[in-house]
Structure 1
Amino acid sequence: MAARRIAASSINWSALAERVPANQKSSFGAFKTKSDIYVRAVMANPETPPKIDWAYYKRLVPVAGLVDGFQKQYDAVSVPYPKDTVTPQVEAEIKESQSEIGAYKKASEQRIQNYQKEIAHLKALLPYDQMTMEDYRDAFPDSALDPLNKPTFWPHTPEEQVGYKSKEQLEAEAQGHH
């Protein structure tokens, strides 16, 4: 299988540059410069090696059979093009990442719907400057102060309440330490 020369870069550098974080722009610029230098060096050479005029050398070299031997050896040389063993792995990774992207999109759409419901709920509430403590309790029963059913001590945070245990204390108790 013969290698074919690629005349134009298949890399969309501007689209790639948009995805590069700001702190890595200098590294990206250096990489693009190296790539451009390499492409120019490759393009400076002809696509196929120049043809050897064997008849000219046969006339010029006095040793009989020497040029014929070189020609036979030269024609026998074959530089194999490396086999592509990576493309199937890359395609499998692309399919895997596409399924992960699809799952992430579905989860994101679900989160968006939940957030839109929360926004609609918040928009339906009275403005906070017009809300009474009872209105707040009705709108947010979990976070509202309820001095009759759930009395708390100031500053009304879980850490300041009677009987509060930290995560470390709960884990220690679960492991049998008191």
Structure 2
Amino acid sequence: MAARRITQSSINWTALAERVPENQKGFFTAFKAKSDGYLRRMMANPESAPKIDWEHYKARIPVQGMVDDFRKKYEALNIPYPSDNVTPQIEQQEREALKEVQEFIKQSNARIAGYEAEVSRLKSLLPFEQMTMEDFKDAYPDLALDPLNKPTYWPHTPEEQLDYDTKAPQDAAHH
């Protein structure tokens, strides 16, 4: 007979529950209940088949050799445990997922370093309350008004400038 391969301590449900998001707690609880029900049903059955009292049947059945024939066939019967052909696929998926996670961690660390550099750069700037227009132009050249190289007209909106394309907003409104 096949041996039991599942034990009650094979899954750390507490560690698993800590990683489940709040919006999926119901699904997790249903999954755990289904798993526990399966485990209870499996544990209710004995690990090996009960022993058969062949002598009892020999004394009760009048046909000679019938019980011996059944006994030989029963003892020759071997039901193999199903072969495991999905574990290599799962392990391959786990390796691929681990590679993706490592790549994501590396990219995240690079982004974090960039964000920390940006934060330190912003902390080194003057506060907006103390900035002059020249300081703002030095800190944010793409946002600041440049009256010497590219003057703008009041109210300094794109629609009021000389190089404004009047067809672009109309075309955009039709789409």
Task: Answer yes or no: same fold by TM over 0.5.
Answer: yes
Normalising by the smaller structure, the TM-score range is 0.7 to 0.9
Aligned pair 1:94/2:94, yes or no?
Answer: yes
Per-residue CA deviation, residues 31-65 of structure 1 (Å, 9 max, x unaligned), is 11111111111111111111111122112222211
Tell me the distance in 2 between the aligned counterparts of 1:17 and 1:152: 60
> TM-score, normalized by length of structure 1?
0.82
Gap regions ≥5 residues in structure 1: 170-178
Gap regions ≥5 residues in structure 2: none
Where in structure 2 are the equivalents of 1:64-103 lying within 5 Å? 64-103=64-103
Measured at CA, do residues 5 and 97 of structure 1 come closer, stay the same or move farther in structure 2, by a change above 3 Å?
closer
Q: CA offset at residue 118 of structure 1? A: 0.4
Q: Which residue number corresponds to residue 144 of structure 1?
A: 144
Q: Which residue number corresponds to residue 39 of structure 2?
A: 39
Where in structure 2 are the equivalents of 1:115-126 lying within 5 Å? 115-126=115-126
Is the 8 Å Cα contact of residues 137 and 144 (structure 1) preserved in structure 2? yes
Measured at CA, do residues 49 and 139 of structure 1 come closer, stay the same or move farther in structure 2, by a change above 3 Å?
same
Aligned pair 1:7/2:3, yes or no?
Answer: no
The amino acid of 1:81's aligned partner reads Y
Q: CA offset at residue 127 of structure 1? A: 1.1
The amino acid of 1:53's aligned partner reads D
Describe the SS at the equivalent of 1:90.
Answer: helix
> TM-score, normalized by length of structure 2?
0.83
Tell me the distance in 1 between the aligned counterparts of 2:64 and 2:28: 58
* Identity of matched residues, %: 55
Number of residues of Structure 1 aligned to a counterpart in Structure 2: 167
Is the 8 Å Cα contact of residues 54 and 67 (structure 2) preserved in structure 1? yes
Per-residue CA deviation, residues 51-107 of structure 1 (Å, 9 max, x unaligned), is 111122112222211111111221122212111111111111111111111111111
Tell me the distance in 1 between the aligned counterparts of 2:18 and 2:118: 33
Q: CA offset at residue 134 of structure 1? A: 1.2
Q: Which residue number corresponds to residue 17 of structure 2?
A: 17
Q: CA offset at residue 119 of structure 1? A: 0.6
- Relative contact order higher in (CA < 8 Å, ≥ 6 apart): 2
Q: Which residue number corresponds to residue 162 of structure 1?
A: 164
Tell me the distance in 1 between the aligned counterparts of 2:151 and 2:82: 76
Measured at CA, do residues 24 and 157 of structure 1 come closer, stay the same or move farther in structure 2, by a change above 3 Å?
farther
Is the 8 Å Cα contact of residues 5 and 47 (structure 1) preserved in structure 2? no
The amino acid of 2:26's aligned partner reads S
